[in-house]
Amino acid sequence: MSSKILTRFFPVPKFLQIPMVGFDISSDSIKLIEIKEKRNHLSIERYDKLDLPRGCIEKGDIKSPDILKRHLTEVRKKHGLKYIAVSLPEEQSYVFSVTIPNVSPKEVRDSIELQIEEHIPLPASDVVFDYTTMSVHKETGDITLVVFALPIAIVESYFAILEDAGFVPLVFETEANALARAIIPNNSPASSMIIDLGNTRSVFTIVENNTAVFNVTADFGGADITRAIQKQMGITFEEAEKLKLERGIIRDTKDEIFSSSISTLAVLKDEINKYYSYWNNRSGKDKTINTTIEKIYFCGGASALKGLNEFLSGYLEVSFQLADVWVNVISLEKEVPPITKKESLHYATAIGLALLNKHHD
């Protein structure tokens, strides 16, 4: 499959009129959600989550294609799906900004290709990319872009297995942009950080003007907190997980759960502080960056841990909050979502994908 053909699977306006389902494939599950426009509002049509066997996908690389295909086929048959918008693994994606001279729209891609190898460890011929225009210099006409790139081999592997399972993937998009679309309120100019805290990994995304402009993946997740509790208390992983979910990590040095978790939580704190400081320091030097980070949003399966926000708020002078994944979908004052607040945090990426062809204000 050539890179020219692959580029049509990034968001392209002419495809966005076809009804499609947001489809999030991660290392541990498949999550889907469909959002429909009904007269003057959006509504959740259906949703589902199917767990994947451990090792089926590792760091975005499909290790067991036959097993994944079987699960994908099961989901397709269960819901009668065909057209989908799919997130691609954040571990395999690259997000970077470039500034190019004032060129015609037809020449933008060529200009980006000339700079790709300065930003990622792959030749331009081996990647497929999309871009968003962030600003145009008033005097010189120089254009600042955010570029999203993925190895062609990864995109091909996901496309092939989805096609074999009977799907028609209309759009492939990075998880970072899907998260931004779901979590950041529409038309928000401020810079924010989104932390997708999963079971085995965490994704840190910085969003400016509703566009993901920076992202990085860390091998840290909720399971690391559980293992720390398991080790110190001498109990099974399942027992430690149950205690963690029931009691949370309330900040109290006399509490066994908190004292067991403190060193592991410090790893998360340091990672957040690293990217928070990096961006805010850049905002004072780089004229293409508009603002410092004003809010940090949590989503993902491990994000609703009791006491987490309070623990982290003690170290950074910034607002921490659980993401409202419905902020651009429905008004919680007028409608009760069919998914609980805690469960909805698993669906942030799928919701962002499902909103691709929705224009409801």
Residues 108-122: pLDDT tens digits?
999 999 999 999 999
The whole model's pTM is what?
0.87
What range defines the domain where residue 290 resides? 187-323
Is 100 within a domain? no
pLDDT at residue 332, as a whole number? 74
Domain assignment of residue 114, yes or no: no
Residues 311 and 344 in one domain: no
Q: What is the DSSP track for 283-321?
A: HTT-TT----EEEEEEESTTTT-TTHHHHHHTT-SSEEE
Q: What is the amino acid identity at position 52?
A: L
For residue 5, give the CATH number of its domain.
3.30.420.40
Q: Examine the domain organization and report whether 61 and 172 are in the same domain.
A: yes
Domain count, the chain: 2
Q: Does 260 share its domain with 331? A: no
Q: Do 49 and 75 fall into the same domain?
A: yes
Q: Which residues of the chain have pLDDT under 70?
A: 1-17, 252-253, 283-290, 359-361
244 near 229, Cβ under 8 Å?
yes
The answer on 170 and 23 residing in a single domain is yes
> 87 and 43 in one domain?
yes
Residues 41 and 174 in one domain: yes
Distance, CA of 291 to CA of 309 (rounded, Å): 23
Q: DSSP 3-state assignment of 255?
A: coil
Same domain (yes/no): 267, 311: yes
In tens, the pLDDT along 147-174 reads 999 999 999 999 999 999 999 999 899 8
CA-based nearest residue to 9, from 202, 154, 112, 117: 154
Q: Do 176 and 204 lie in a common domain?
A: no
Q: Does residue 286 fall inside a structural domain?
A: yes
Verify that 205 and 286 share a domain, yes or no. yes
Is residue 104 assigned to a domain? Answer: no
Residues 199 and 179 in one domain: no
The pLDDT assigned to 290 comes to: 59
Which strands form 202-208's sheet, in the order they lie side by side?
A: 211-218, 202-208, 191-197, 293-299, 319-322
